[in-house]
Each structure stands twice: as structure tokens, then as C-alpha cells.
Structure 1
């Protein structure tokens, strides 16, 4: 078993969700045109391997989308007595969820960390909101990245964005000195 037996349904669900999300994110980041160009340049692969590599991004996206559907059905809930159960099967120990967790662990599917480029991409999308790109300043720290729009509005009560290195989650923060912001963010992560 990949998770400690004492883990709650919610903890296992969270770990499986992170692993599925990591696989989906890796597939979405893959450049299909670069894959096609690499396949066109090399003749080293047999036809079956070429076909697999050419369709691998689509296959991973389909598989992770299907697993997301499974996770939406087999998610944590409360029973009438205040205990935790699976909403999909009504049991305390969801065989479906634990089976998916074991398979993902066996094939070493682990959440990837967010790098500086991905943090910038997420901050750019957040601050730009689909409009004209906004210059973004990124500062790195152990648990993530602090991002600010270079020309952000001066009346914004939470002008800073933190991109979590481990989950990619975004959170808005007030303008604080970097050391204070890092300490507060680290404390908040530890309390979850």
C-alpha cells in the first residue's frame, strides 16, 4: 500500500488528486508540435512505438480526465455519525480510491513541482486575465513564488500572488515585506 493505513479518506483522495493533476499538467505542458517534429526527424522507432508516442499526450489527457471523474464520485463525505466515508461507495475504506492510489504509486506518478517558468505563466494568466500581457515580477522562496504585476493597480488590497511550488495553487496576499510574507505563508501551509 502506498499510503499509511491511518490516512483518512480525505488524505488519500488529496494525494490521488495531486498525482492525477500532475500527470494531466505534464501532458498539457507537452508541445504536440515538438513531438511531431521529433518523430519526423527520427526513424529509430518501429511503427507501433511511433504511433504510441504520437498519441501519448492525448492518451494521458483522456486517462487523467477519466480518473478525475472517478475522483469526483469517490470523494470524502460524512456519515450520519460524523465519521468519514466515500460518497461513491458509502464505505470508510474505498477500494476504488485505494486501488487508484496504489496503481499511481506503482507507476511512480508523483506530483511535479512548479518551476519558475510555470509560476510566471500562472501569474501572467492571473494578472492579465486574458487581456494584454502584464509584466510580472517573480521572486522565489522554498515553498513557492511571489508574483506581482509590475504595473499593478495601486488600490489593490492584495496585490501579491503566491504560486505554491508543490501544488500550483494561487493565493492573494497583501503587500508585506518578503520575509514576513514567506513566514506567514509557510505557517499557513503547515497548519493545513
Structure 2
């Protein structure tokens, strides 16, 4: 599904995911230590200590809003917002404007982060993980690769993981793009 509502929702979802990923990567102990060592006023010090939790809470709240204001179809097969029933969702537009004003952009996942996520997903069943870099994603395979194993695709923009059966990489990328467009 593509259209104004879908585009706004997808952009907002990616931005929320990025800010939550950045907050989850931050080390709370390191923030506490940094706050203690900084020569700043007590309010700023407390903000540094609480920033991670605040960002995660705001991200979770925005995720709840996006779960309500998401794309759907009306009786005439036109794209509408499921939350407000309109073709122009003011909630999504306002969220998009705020993100733009504060220049919050999706974080791009690098090869090391893709490898870390894939290794965590495969767990101890895979003694090693091979990661292949593609334009839109990373393809991760357990090594050694057995017939009953699956592939992981790590989205470059969001870091989201999806499982796929074994197939040639070029074919997998085509299927993955169709999946992102909602065609699978």
C-alpha cells in the first residue's frame, strides 16, 4: 500500500524506531557516570541521567499513537487513516512536522550492527554468522549453513529482522523489496 497516509506512517515509524534504537544502545551506567563528572547545573545533570528513559517512554507512547493512526482502506478502496477515518491524517502530519523540525532521521544500520543482531537471533545454534551487504539490507547466514537453516534479512534503515528460506541473494533481495511494498 502506497499513498500519503502510508508514506507518513512509514516515515514516522522509522523515525520512532531509530530514536528508540539509539536510546537502547546508550549505556545507562555510562550516562550516570558522565552526569556525575560533568560540571553542569543539577537540572542538566538530572536530565542526562534520565534522558534514556525519557526517550524510550516517548518512543513507546508514539508507537501507541502509530498503532491507532495507521493506513487502511475505506469502503471505496481508498487509503484512509484507520484512527481518524480521513484521507489526510492530521496526527501523522503533526508527528512528521515535529520530527522534521528537530531533524530526527532514521538511523542507518551498519554491517557490524547487522552482524550483532543476526548473531543474537541465531543464538548458540550458529557458531558463526556470515553477513552479506546489499543496497537495502544485509543478508545473514549461519555458518555452516545446513538445509534446515533459514536466512535473516536485516533492514538497513530500521534494523528489523525477517526470516527467509534459503535462496540466491539476488532473488531474496527482490522478494524482500516486494515484502516491503506489501506485495507478499
- Give the Cα–Cα distance (whole angstroms) in 2 for the partners of residues 124 and 105 of structure 1: 34
Label 1:58 to 1:145 Cα distance change in 2 as closer, same or farther (>3 A). Answer: same
Match of 1:3 in 2: none
Label 1:127 to 1:76 Cα distance change in 2 as closer, same or farther (>3 A). Answer: same
> Is 1:174 paired with 2:166?
yes
- Give the Cα–Cα distance (whole angstroms) in 2 for the partners of residues 150 and 160 of structure 1: 11
Match of 1:162 in 2: 153
> RMSD of the alignment, in Å?
2.4
Aligned residues: 178
Match of 1:13 in 2: 9
Match of 1:148 in 2: 141
Label 1:85 to 1:20 Cα distance change in 2 as closer, same or farther (>3 A). Answer: same
Label 1:81 to 1:186 Cα distance change in 2 as closer, same or farther (>3 A). Answer: closer
Write the deviation string for residues 57-100 of structure 1: whole angstroms up to 9, x where unpaired: 00000001000111111111111111111111111111111101
Give unpaired runs (5+ residues) of structure 1.
1-5
Deviation at 1:162, TM superposition (A): 2.4
Match of 2:52 in 1: 57
Label 1:44 to 1:7 Cα distance change in 2 as closer, same or farther (>3 A). Answer: farther
SS in 2 for 1:127: helix
Match of 2:18 in 1: 22
Give unpaired runs (5+ residues) of structure 2.
none
- Give the Cα–Cα distance (whole angstroms) in 2 for the partners of residues 7 and 53 of structure 1: 39
Label 1:7 to 1:155 Cα distance change in 2 as closer, same or farther (>3 A). Answer: closer
Label 1:151 to 1:60 Cα distance change in 2 as closer, same or farther (>3 A). Answer: same
TM-score with structure 1 length normalisation? Answer: 0.82
Match of 2:74 in 1: 79
> Is 1:117 paired with 2:112?
yes
TM-score with structure 2 length normalisation? Answer: 0.85
CA contact (8 A) 1:141 1:182 kept: no
Among candidates 27, 49, 58, match of residue 31 of structure 1: 27
SS in 2 for 1:103: helix
Moved over 4 A (4+): none
SS in 2 for 1:93: coil
Write the deviation string for residues 33-62 of structure 1: whole angstroms up to 9, x where unpaired: 11112223x232111111111100000000
- Give the Cα–Cα distance (whole angstroms) in 2 for the partners of residues 161 and 85 of structure 1: 32
